Structure 1
Amino acid sequence: MQARDRIGDRYELTYPIGRGGMGQVWAGFDERLDRPVAVKFLRQMEVPEDERETAVKRFRREARATARLDHPGVPVVHDLGEHGDDLYIVMQLVRGYVLADLIAEQEQLAVGEAASIAAQVCSVLAAAHSASLVHRDLKPQNLMITPAGVVKILDFGVAALLGPTEQSRLTATGHTLGTPAYIAPEQASGGAVGPGADLYALGCILFEMLTGTPPYEAKNAPDMLRRHMQSPIPVITEYRADVPDDLGHLIYCLLGKKPTDRPGTAEEVQQLLTPFLSEERQTSAEKSGGTEARADAWAGPNPVQGTAQELAELHQRAQELAEEERFVQAAEVLERALEPAQGVREVLDPQVVAVRLDLANLRMLAGNYRMARDDFEELARVLEQPGGDQSLGRQCREQARSCQVELGE
């Protein structure tokens, strides 16, 4: 795959944001609806032949399982199709922090914040379990926190139906699906997997959010599986003294060796978490401004190096997109083009000013009046400095007022 490739005669790939053993995830744009998307590919030829049929079934199941869940904590699935020898899923592009990165940065999250994240996960799990789906691979790498503080669960690729006629494990002989550090004992032993496995994984994640490490550590995967099945349940208050006893007891129960030792439902766990929720809704991801992160995944490196020539080329590309009325995509091109120029925002560089002005106009055309207003006001402030284009500054003030009117403010 390459940037600018077109998939399904409507999705244009922009840059890669993730790669696994059997596929890739790309950021892209839906040309028809002018919206950013994530395109996840299964490269069939990279899958061992004896596992290919299973991988294809799992990939299609991911699309259908995720599409069935109408919940703000699940990325929206837009499309499923084939591109040459590859299958692809088109999904909502999620921006924010991967929880694993947040834990690595913060080491230990505040009790209220960890409880808030876990409660949101419970809300998604409740919807999934009521739809007869169990995720089976919950882990910090599969949890995203958006800049608005919304937790989204990614990758239902190993989800299994819970119906009596279809307790499908979709697993190759001898393989255990799931991630060893968060896998329930019954899952590790190859037994039947139900909602309790997701609650066990949530217990592991809560433990890690509060202590900085998973409940068990081992040198290899087989040893990790044995530890989940046989080692004593760790008591979290021995690792962190400020964890309330009731929350510690809940985590201990979530880590029960048998599903019957754990709380019965995700709704019950959510209610038990309520007393510990942070009064301050802002998460660490919001405080740090968030980052573009993975969209199953999902984030992406900024491919722009910031030379004047590259800025000009991207400016031209955005103008071409704007002529096709692909305003949102054009605006994103300019956003990425301007990132290396952040240090010269106060400088009246004509090229940078022209790009910033076009970005503000594109956001206005796309209906993003709040961001456009802020862009125009900031530009006006810069242009009104000594040596700036005072007339253009006044025009920016007028455009900012127009946006204010559109916002009804």
Structure 2
Amino acid sequence: MQARDRVSDRYELTYPIGRGGMGQVWAGYDERLDRPVAVKFLRIQEVPEAEREVAVKRFRREARVTARLDHPGVPAIHDLGVHGDDLYIVMQLVRGCQLADLIAEQERLSVAASASIAAQVCSVLAAAHAASLVHRDLKPQNVMVTPSGAVKVLDFGVAALIGPAEQSRLTATGHTLGTPAYIAPEQASGAVVGPAADLYALGCVLFEMLTGRPPFEAGNSLEMLHRHMRSPVPIVVEYRSDVPDDLAHLLFCLLAKDPSDRPASAVEVAQLLTPFARGEDARAGAGPFVPVNATDSTPASRPGQSLAEVRAQAEELAEHERFVQAAELLERTLRFTSAADLVGSEIVPLRLDLANLVMLAGDFRRAKHLFEQLARDLDGCGNQQDLVDECHRRALSCKTELGEPTEG
């Protein structure tokens, strides 16, 4: 795979987001519907031949299972298909960073941020469990945090329908499903798993958010599984003294060895977490650590590319009615503009183009804000009154489209 490759004569790949042992995820662009997407590939030739049939089933299962979960905390699935020898899933492009990267960057999150993220994960788990699904591989690498602090749960590839028949069929390959550092004791022992296994994994993730390390550490996978099954539950306040007692107790219950000793449901856990999720630091860590090149679907600007060339590239995209992608290209360029340069002779045309493109894409509320902001910045600059008036007129048009009052 390489940038500018086309999939199904519709999706243009822009750059890779991530890579696993048997697949890749690319940022891309849906030319037909003018929107950014993520394209996840299963590289069949990279899968050992003996495991290909199971890998294909799990990949298709991920698409079907994720598509069934109509929840804001689950990326929307747009398409499933075959590209050459590979399978692909087209899904919503989530702008943000992995929770694992956030923890690595901050070492440990605030109590409020940790509780907020965990409560949002609970909301997704509640929806999955209501649909008779167990995720079975919840971990920080499968949780995305957006710049606004919203959470998305990814990778339902090893999710299973609740029930012993489904469990035995899926584990017929002889492999323990899940990730050792976050696996429930019953899952580690090969027993049938239910929603309580996801709550245990959530406890492991919450412990790591609060302390910067998972609850158990070991030199190898077998030792890790043994620790989950046999080692005493760690007490979080021994690693971090400012964790409230009630939250520490909830965490202790989530990590109980016996599934029946854990909370009854994800809904209950979310309710217990909510009081701790309130506060100014509840979304701490969401914005500043989002890597730009891991979230944009725009064509990469060439090193040393002038603003005029960027503008011309955006115009070319707009000519093909790729308004969203063109707007993202300009926004990506303007992101690094200092406040002093916002009314510079080269920057103002880009800002006006950006507002026009956002309006053409149908996001009238945001376009109105962009026009109004440009008018305010230009007001009083001299020789710019015609452009200020034009921005006000276009903002007024956006208000009309939104059904907002236009008097005065």
Query: TM above 0.5, one fold?
Result: yes
1:322 deviates by 1.6
The CA distance in 2 between the partners of 1:140 and 1:300, in whole Å, is 23
- 1:308 maps onto 2:305 in alignment: yes
1:254 deviates by 1.0
TM-score (norm 1): 0.89
- Equivalent residues, number: 404
Encode CA deviations 1:180-230: one digit per residue, 9 max, x unaligned: 211112222333222121111000111111112111122332322222122
Is contact 1:304–1:336 with CA below 8 Å preserved after alignment?
A: no
The CA distance in 1 between the partners of 2:113 and 2:130, in whole Å, is 26
Q: Which runs of 5+ in 1 are unaligned?
A: none
- 1:391 maps onto 2:391 in alignment: no
The CA distance in 2 between the partners of 1:9 and 1:293, in whole Å, is 27
Residues 1:326 and 1:301: Cα distance change in structure 2 (over 3 Å): closer
Given residue 231 of structure 1, which amino acid in structure 2 is its aligned partner?
S
Given residue 152 of structure 1, which amino acid in structure 2 is its aligned partner?
K
TM-score (norm 2): 0.89
Residues 1:230 and 1:18: Cα distance change in structure 2 (over 3 Å): same
- Say which SS state the counterpart of residue 362 (structure 2) adopts: coil
The CA distance in 1 between the partners of 2:385 and 2:172, in whole Å, is 68
Is contact 2:296–2:328 with CA below 8 Å preserved after alignment?
A: no
Q: Which runs of 5+ in 2 are unaligned?
A: none
1:79 deviates by 0.9
- Say which SS state the counterpart of residue 60 (structure 1) adopts: helix
1:386 deviates by 5.3
- 1:146 maps onto 2:143 in alignment: no
- 1:129 maps onto 2:129 in alignment: yes
- 1:27 maps onto 2:23 in alignment: no
Bigger Cα displacement from structure 2, 36-45 vs 95-104: 95-104
Is contact 1:382–1:388 with CA below 8 Å preserved after alignment?
A: no
Is contact 1:146–1:290 with CA below 8 Å preserved after alignment?
A: no
Encode CA deviations 1:41-67: one digit per residue, 9 max, x unaligned: 111111111111111111000000101
The CA distance in 2 between the partners of 1:133 and 1:45, in whole Å, is 30
- Say which SS state the counterpart of residue 41 (structure 2) adopts: strand
Residues 1:219 and 1:293: Cα distance change in structure 2 (over 3 Å): farther
1:326 deviates by 2.4
Which of 358, 374, 390 is 1:363 aligned to?
A: 358
The CA distance in 2 between the partners of 1:55 and 1:69, in whole Å, is 21
The CA distance in 1 between the partners of 2:143 and 2:355, in whole Å, is 32
Given residue 278 of structure 1, which amino acid in structure 2 is its aligned partner?
R
Corresponding residue number in structure 2 for 1:291? 290
The CA distance in 1 between the partners of 2:214 and 2:292, in whole Å, is 22
Corresponding residue number in structure 2 for 1:62? 62
The alignment-based identity, stated in percent, is 68
Given residue 290 of structure 2, which amino acid in structure 1 is its aligned partner?
T
Bigger Cα displacement from structure 2, 196-205 vs 311-320: 311-320
Matches within 5 A, 1:31-50: 31-50=31-50
Residues 1:300 and 1:364: Cα distance change in structure 2 (over 3 Å): closer
Matches within 5 A, 1:186-225: 186-225=186-225
The CA distance in 2 between the partners of 1:314 and 1:344, in whole Å, is 20
Given residue 59 of structure 1, which amino acid in structure 2 is its aligned partner?
F
The CA distance in 1 between the partners of 2:26 and 2:359, in whole Å, is 27
Residues 1:343 and 1:275: Cα distance change in structure 2 (over 3 Å): closer
Residues 1:34 and 1:303: Cα distance change in structure 2 (over 3 Å): closer
Bigger Cα displacement from structure 2, 42-51 vs 387-396: 387-396
